[in-house]
Amino acid sequence: MFGKKMKMTIAILVLTFTVGCASSSISETNTPAIHPGFPSYPPIKDANPNIRTKRTFQVPTRLDVKRIAERIDVSVDTNSLETLELDVGDKMVAGFKHEMFVVSGDKRRQWGGGLGGTAYIGTSHVIQKLDGIPKPGEKYIVEITFIVFETDIPGQHMWMPENGKYKEIWKRTLKSEEL
């Protein structure tokens, strides 16, 4: 049978595909695509943030961060996921946004981020030759802020969910130990 990690991986892939693709009930507009070759989807007309329903989300409680000579590897500790219920607007699309930072002393540098259907971020790498960090002898802390949001803008290529009825409905910042 499938182990816990395999089930999690399958669930992540399904959710990522589902949120990353527009619903089949939404049709393409006749307006030119903002990004040629990719359809643009309009806001969901009958999405109503005033009517709330409970939805379940898996959110991380810990990061898995390793410093290896000339790089730092960062991912979500998939064994730390907790389930929570949040109120989401009727017919609104719910998604995850994450923002990553590397902190050294009083310097806080944004290092990446993204959007998706889950809190799964894969494994990211901060590489000294590309990013200028980590430097020998310097200590670092990695921070990732996870946000669950709702929007009436369907997931699509170059998705900008903030352009519609956007609202952050949950937020958590996780920090690594000093590396």
Listed by start position, the domains of the chain span: 4-25+49-175
Lookup: tokens for 88: 């989401």
- Mean of all residue pLDDT scores within the chain: 84
User: pTM score, two decimals?
Assistant: 0.78
Which amino acid belongs to residue 18?
A: T
What percentage of the chain's residues is helix, strand, coil (to nearest 5)?
Answer: 15, 45, 40
Which amino acid belongs to residue 118?
A: T
Q: What is the pLDDT of residues 24-74, one digit of tens each?
A: 233 334 444 566 788 999 999 999 999 999 999 999 999 999 999 899 999
Q: Which CATH architecture has domain 4-25+49-175?
A: Sandwich (2.60)
Highest mean pLDDT among 8-22, 25-39, 124-138: 124-138
Output the pLDDT for position 34.
Answer: 60
Lookup: tokens for 19: 């949120």
DSSP reduced 3-state for 156 = coil
- The share of the chain scoring above pLDDT 90, in percent, equals 72
